[in-house]
Amino acid sequence: MGKKIIITEKPSVAMEFAKVISKNFTRRDGYLESEEWIITWCVGHLVTMSYPEKYNEQLKYWRIETLPFIPKDWKYEIIPQVEKQFNIIKSLMTREDIEAIYNAGDSGREGEYIQRLVLMMIKPDPKIKIKRIWIDSQTEDEIRRGITEAKDASEYDSLSDSAYLRAKEDYLIGINFSRMLTLMYGQKLSNMLNEERASISIGRVMTCVLGMVVNKEREIRNFVKTPYYKVQALFKDFQAEWKMTETSRYFESPKLYNDTGFKEEAEAKKLILELQGKEAVIEEIKKSKVKEAAPLLFNLAELQNECSKKFKISPDKTLEIAQNLYEKKLVTYPRTDARVLST
């Protein structure tokens, strides 16, 4: 009977799988092994996309005439710092006693991408079954369910394709625009900074976010305080505030700052004098029963936003804490866009 390999994204996850599967694992260099199972791990990304100079040595020199650089056949390479672990995984995948490989990468696009790159570089025997373990937490029951219900890896091909496309898009934007803008404006920038040279880094997400930050900062700097005046009424049992409606004579009036305020104090006082002493009429009371759905779970972006507002915690720190809680089996997988649990 052949053995099965489980490949997790990090050593700590491998240990959790080992606890669930068997107590008889032997610890070896870069993996765990029992009679039926081998558990090994990545350490984040093991494989990366090659820089232009790996396609053509002349491309290490930045020149406008070589842009845009768009590879016909994409090249990948092992990251030197983690080459040892990659070679351990490769030696395990190519053993003659292996009958199945279980991808237990993090349950998300990037987790899928990390493992697919490893499989692409190693190219295991086509006879070996490739399975995908998809779990939402690291509890024993969830890990056990994930192994039992592991699906054929091909069912996640669309997720893999989206990850490859995202990586290629990032690469093309980063390489081409960074080189182009550095060649066009790098000298001016270096002169401004009193540096010998300067490069301009462009990223698909990074540059857009930077643009939003710059625009918001400009709004703040250019903001001019505008005083305006509201009209409020005090009744016996409640308080009310005047608001412009479409039937009001003030509808779209230039005298208003917004729907509830006047630009000039005199206009507000004029309305007060008109209303003072008059009887208010309640024209309509609406009552209705509504069902309010339970709030959705946090995804990473919403969690980071909430923690920033309430606790002034940076996005990186929020992710670090959430990841730590996940590894302690206290929360579900944090690096996700989903706001519901998979069934």
Q: What is the pLDDT of residues 261-291, one digit of tens each?
A: 888 999 889 888 888 888 888 888 889 999 9
With respect to residue 329, please indicate whether it lies within any of the assigned structural domains: yes
With respect to residue 312, please indicate whether it lies within any of the assigned structural domains: yes
Residues 125 and 60 in one domain: yes
What number of CA atoms fall less than 13 Å from residue 118's CA on the CB side?
A: 34
- Cis omega before residue 80 (within 30°)? no
pLDDT at 8: 98
Range of the structural domain that residue 211 is part of: 167-222
The predicted-structure confidence for 296-331, as pLDDT tens digits, reads as follows: 999 898 999 999 999 999 999 999 999 999 988 899
With respect to residue 281, please indicate whether it lies within any of the assigned structural domains: no
Does residue 343 register a pLDDT over 70? no
Q: Is 288 left (phi over 0), alpha (psi -120 to 50) or beta?
A: beta
- At which of 222, 243, 267 does a domain end? 222
Residues 259 and 328 in one domain: no
- Total number of domains in the chain: 4
Choose, from 31, 113, 326, 333, the residue flagged as catalytic: 333
pTM for the predicted model, two decimal places: 0.78
Residues 77 and 102 in one domain: yes
Of the candidates 19, 3, 10, the residue with the CA atom closest to the CA atom of residue 44? 10
Residue 257 annotated in active site: no
With respect to residue 19, please indicate whether it lies within any of the assigned structural domains: yes
- Mean pLDDT, all residues of the chain: 93
With respect to residue 286, please indicate whether it lies within any of the assigned structural domains: no
